[in-house]
Amino acid sequence: MTFLLSDEVAMAIAAGRAVVGLETSVIGQGLPFPRNLECVERMEAAIRGTGATPGWVGLVDGAVRVGLERAELARFAEPGAAVKVARRDVPVAVASGSLGATTVSATIWAAHRAGIGVAVTGGIGGVHPGPRRDASADLLELGRTPIVLIASGPKSIVDPAATAERLEELGVALVGYGVDRLPFFLAREAPVELEHRVETPEGAAAIARAHRALGAQAAIVLCNPIAPEHALDPDVLRAATARAEARMEEAGVAGKAVTPFLLRALAEETDGSSLEANLVLLEDNARLAAEVALAISAATSGR
């Protein structure tokens, strides 16, 4: 079979319990070894500590897997072991038997197919600045996958206004979690106003239930800002991002290698502070995702 759920995830879904979908690209390409293993531990602890089940998504031995054990996740953490897999790459990676680390686009597709209604990431891809205006595959998949994705807005390496506009065109609802402006990954906010806001996991769950009842076919992105004490100064972040982009242009990096390269360069340009901030927001987003999934489960079961 080419699409498999772990016993734990399958039983949780069948029982109507809370499950959270997680991408493996953050392990395979987003964070350096061994901090990526620390990320696994922190996100899993946040989800399980809230009472939900983590459903890591990845490609292993010719199958899309939803629900991975620690030993399997350790394979993704090895430098260079896993290829980066967006939604469009899934059939090729399955056919080749590659170890594939799923991006947001592949993760939400697999999570939705498995029956998982909530997923989590750090920051979504978006529209990159510059004349080519390259756009992440995350955006199109968000426009056609009915799921709730918890994220700290778009990654700080993209154009936030252009990204928000593209998501609006695709019918994706951006909902601020306790904020009126779009979070900007490692920075608290970008100068982009949000039309919708909720204050609690229950408020987000109510929107998710209405979204499901109406048969909407696009995602809801619940935008959870990084905690103020861990956020990077916007001016410092902009300057560091500009230096990282200059390094990328000089190195001739393009395509799927852009985001991993820029995140590594950004960590170097900020003396590691962006890496620490990234780990904090991933853990916090995982906890919120679990809380939203639990609120949806409780309302659906009538508890």
> Residue 15 has what pLDDT?
96
User: Could you tell me which residue, 118 or 246, shows the higher pLDDT?
Assistant: 118
Q: Average of pLDDT values for 69-84? A: 96
User: What percent of the chain clears pLDDT 90, i.e. is strictly above it?
Assistant: 81
Confidence of residue 70 (pLDDT cuts 50, 70, 90): very high
* Neighbouring C-beta atoms of residue 273, cutoff 10 Å: 18
The pLDDT of residue 258 is above 70 = yes
- Give the tokens for residue 269: 């340009």
- Give the tokens for residue 9: 């995830």
> Residue 133 has what pLDDT?
65
Alpha-carbon torsion, ordered 238, 239, 244, 247, to 10 deg: 140
Domains of the chain: 3-301 (3.40.1790.10)
Residue range 132-189, pLDDT digits in tens:
667 899 999 999 999 999 999 999 889 999 999 999 999 999 999 999 999 999 999 9
Confidence of residue 27 (pLDDT cuts 50, 70, 90): very high
Alpha-carbon torsion, ordered 100, 106, 110, 113, to 10 deg: -150
Q: How many whole angstroms separate alpha carbon 177 and alpha carbon 132?
A: 32
List strand residue ranges (DSSP E) for the chain, in order.
3-5, 19-22, 53-60, 63-66, 83-85, 100-102, 118-120, 148-151, 173-177, 196-198, 220-223
> Residue 12 has what pLDDT?
98
CB 108 within 8 A of CB 219: yes
Residue range 180-235, pLDDT digits in tens:
999 999 999 999 999 999 999 999 999 999 999 999 999 999 999 999 999 998 88
> Residue 132 has what pLDDT?
63
The pLDDT of residue 303 is above 60 = no
Known catalytic residues? 23, 155
Question: Identity (one letter) of the amino acid at 118?
Answer: V
> Residue 261 has what pLDDT?
85
* Neighbouring C-beta atoms of residue 251, cutoff 10 Å: 11
> Residue 256 has what pLDDT?
73
Residue reference for tokens 């990159």: 128
